Amino acid sequence: MSHILLVTSSPRGAESLSTRFATEIAEGLKARSGGTLTVRDLAADPLPHITSAYVNGRITAPDARTPEQVEAVRIAQELVDELKAADVVVLGSGMINFGPSSQLKAWFDHIIWPAVTFGYGDTGPKGLLTGKKVYLVAAAGGVFSEGAWAPFDFQSNYLLHLLGFIGLTDVELVRVEGTVFGPDAAKAAIANTEMAVQTLLAKAA
């Protein structure tokens, strides 16, 4: 039995394709494994941006932290514990101005924690969260997987880098793209992603 963590981040609510397909993957995996599912909706329940209370609180002895530092570290610890408890992580990200939303960026800012989720060894940085499977659903209105706009994909490349930095290197990327080129293009793009998700779930069964 596996535990699945679903993290969604799009501000588009029910219209979000990244949330739709990430949820479909997470619920499909849960049904097949008989496991458990934790959902963190960063748009509905946004995290605070990190402040000096978080930056300094992480390196301050617990009994010497100010109340603000205690709360900032508590939030980060809760997120890290949630991530550590998961065997499978499903992330939904919708492109905002060529990159991930600020909501998802805030989540990464909290969980990328020296000596907790990554460390430094003789050969440089080393991720400490290993042995997990990650499914990353990246949605964009344009086409960024190839062609003229590929160099401007600061969403999926950035997220893959951050995941790898903390040890999450077994990542399957699912794209939803090309939905702004008219109704027919959007319908085809959604159908292609639906097929990719069903293939992914069949393989995971």
Q: Which two tokens stand for residue 141?
A: 């209105």
Which CATH number covers residue 76? 3.40.50.360
Domain span at 49: 3-204
- pLDDT, tens digit, 9 for 90 and up, residues 53-104: 999 999 999 999 999 999 999 999 999 999 999 999 999 999 999 999 999 9
Query: Is 10 assigned a ligand-binding role in the annotation?
Result: yes
- Are 193 and 17 in contact by the 8 Å Cβ rule? The answer is yes
Q: How many domains does the chain have?
A: 1
Strand (E) or helix (H) holding 75 = helix 67-85
Q: Is the pLDDT of residue 205 over 80?
A: no
3 state DSSP class of 93: strand
- Are 72 and 110 in contact by the 8 Å Cβ rule? The answer is no
- pLDDT, tens digit, 9 for 90 and up, residues 98-135: 999 999 999 999 999 999 999 998 888 999 999 999 99
Angle between helices 102-111 and 67-85 (to 10 degrees): 90
Q: What is the pLDDT of residue 84?
A: 97
Query: Is 156 assigned a ligand-binding role in the annotation?
Result: no
pTM of the model: 0.95
Q: What is the pLDDT of residue 16?
A: 95
